Amino acid sequence: MKLLRFGESGLEKPGLELAENTRIDVSAFGEDFNEKFFATNGVERLEKWLEENKESCAVIKSDARLGPPIARPSKVVCVGLNYAKHAEESGMGIPKQPVIFFKATTSIIGPNDNIMLPKGSEKSDWEVELAVVIGKKTSYVPKEEAMDYVAGYMLHNDVSERAFQLEMEGQWVKGKSCDTFAPLGPYLVTKSEIANPHNLDLWLHLNGQQLQYSNTSDFIFDIPDVVSYISQFMTLLPGDVISTGTPSGVGLGMNPPRYLKAGDVVELGIEGLGISRQEVIPFQRNS
């Protein structure tokens, strides 16, 4: 299934995109796509509910805003430098174990919402990434069992302010957590619909120019690796997001470097997970 959420920011309702690309409102199911939903076999229960109630579900208007496909998760954990060429363009060596950092959940927005440059930003960058959504609570999970804890996958633009991330003392989280720096979606695609998440094309265009193009087969650490590794240090809860890293082609790696500016348009996609589009706007104090 393709789970989505639609409506005004903060007031999103649950929906689905069907095989024929029709989007339907499943509010009558009575649950949002949150931690409780995933923890209680929500995907399976929704599938059964849909068998009897599909015909009574209203069609979502084509111009409806899409929100993040899941309600605010407990955490967003990211893997850095997970493609060899990206590590090279960033001037860093190939990591011997996954590099992990957090994004604040307040950075999450819908797939087509605006990216707002933070106050003082001069080096905000783009990063197309495959995001993994956890389906069951786990800790210390063996690699061989890790995929059993995956609910599905989403498209993620891991927007990053490089000066905050790399030129200030401290952790990367400062450059990753600005408001609007985590567009997710358009939908969460459940695990059963993606035959091989380790063979998906992913791409990103800036103002119509292709800057990133790769395939998840180029991961340094695959999904079982990163789920298992992260679970050694923290409990993963249903609905948690793990973003698996970006390929080469980011602005930081260009000569000279190139960064986002107000008026830019970013479009990105992953095979089977849809396309998102964000316009870049200047900092707005009251946004």
Predicted pLDDT of residue 279: 98
Per the CB < 8 A criterion, the answer to whether 274 and 108 are in contact is: no
From 159, 66, 65, 158, select the one nearest 117 (Cα to Cα): 159
Residue 167, classed as helix, strand or coil, is coil
Q: Give the model's confidence band at 88: pLDDT under 50 very low, under 70 low, under 90 confident, else very high.
A: confident
d(CA 36, CA 18): 23
H-run or E-run covering 52: helix 42-53
Determine the Cα angle at 69 with ends 68 and 70, to 5°: 90
pLDDT digits (tens, 9 = 90+) for 162-219: 999 988 887 889 999 999 999 999 999 999 999 999 999 999 999 999 999 999 999 9
Residue 198 neighbours by CB under 8 Å, 6+ apart: 216, 217, 219, 222, 223
Residue 142: cis peptide before it, omega within 30 degrees of 0: no
Q: Is 148 helix (H, G, I), strand (E, B) or coil?
A: helix
CA 238 – CA 234 distance, rounded (Å): 13
pLDDT tens per residue across span 210-257? 999 999 999 999 999 999 999 999 999 999 999 999 999 999 999 999
Residue 150 — very low, low, confident or very high, per pLDDT cuts 50/70/90? Answer: very high
Q: How confident is the model at residue 66 (pLDDT cuts 50, 70, 90)?
A: very high
Q: Tell me the average pLDDT of the chain.
A: 95
d(CA 40, CA 30): 13
Question: Tokens at residue 25, please?
Answer: 């409102």
% the chain with pLDDT above 90: 90
Q: Which domains does the chain have, with CATH numbers?
A: 2-56 (no CATH), 72-281 (3.90.850.10)
Amino acid letter, 261: K
Task: Read off the pTM.
Answer: 0.96
Q: Which two tokens stand for residue 27?
A: 């509010």
Could you give the 3-state DSSP secondary structure of residue 265? strand
CA 218 to chain centre: 18
In this structure, what token pair is assigned to residue 2? 């393709």
**Residue range 129-148: average pLDDT?**
98
Token look-up 């695959």 returns 222
Helices within the chain (DSSP H only): 35-39, 42-53, 84-89, 162-166, 173-176, 223-231
Decide if 70 contacts 34 (C-beta within 8 A).
Answer: yes
pLDDT at 148: 98
